Structure 1
Amino acid sequence: MKKNPIIPYLLIMAFGLGLIFFMSIEGADNKADIAKSGDKAKTEQKAEDGAASGDVDPKAIAQAKCSSCHGGDLKGQVGPSLHGTGLKEADVKKILTNGKGTGMPAGLVSGAELDAMAKYISELK
């Protein structure tokens, strides 16, 4: 007796359609979380727009680019606390430009943002 070779493909298709259906239901239940991520994207855009216009708000930049690792209050989460580091502006600029270790990526901020962020972080108590 020969087996029909199309059956495995039909099973995979049915599984895929079921997965899509259940994932869409899960997404509908998480509207609030999706809205929050949209708000975060708006905050990042405002920080970038401020840097482009010359008005650099280091607090907004920190919330947009640093809070995911260093926490909303920058007192540490996955990454270390940025309060009371004792680093000078030049040291902070070097870390922001080149990164540090495997956890701190390089090039998160540049230009006028870099100067404002270095001053802001070095002054956190």
Structure 2
Amino acid sequence: MKQTLKGLTVAAVPATLGILFGIGVILYGINGHKTEEAAAKPEGTKQEQAAGGATSEIGNFVTQNCATCHGQGLKGGFGPKLVGTALDEKAIVDILKNGKGQMPKDLAKGKEEEVAKYLKSLK
């Protein structure tokens, strides 16, 4: 009886781990596709098209560099939401240049003012 129970345990543990690994791969695949779609489709597209190419370039920059921490659509994630922020452009520029909390400095080096204006335009 003890040998049968030991054999069952030895077989059940790897099988259970395999099932859990498979579920993890499936969930990662589902969430990974959503992340890729979000990166390919920046937020604020209508505003960017109306404002022209420069805004579109900054919008793409913001999507690629800020969404990782500030969430899809910049509505909050690890970092605070940027859409509808109460900060003024001067404060945003200061944070972009000097960092704040977990945010490192100089992530938008040379583009701080443009990024600040773009962020304030988001509603």
TM, length-normalised to structure 2: 0.50
Give the structure with the larger helix fraction.
2
| Larger RCO (CA within 8 A; separation ≥ 6) | 1
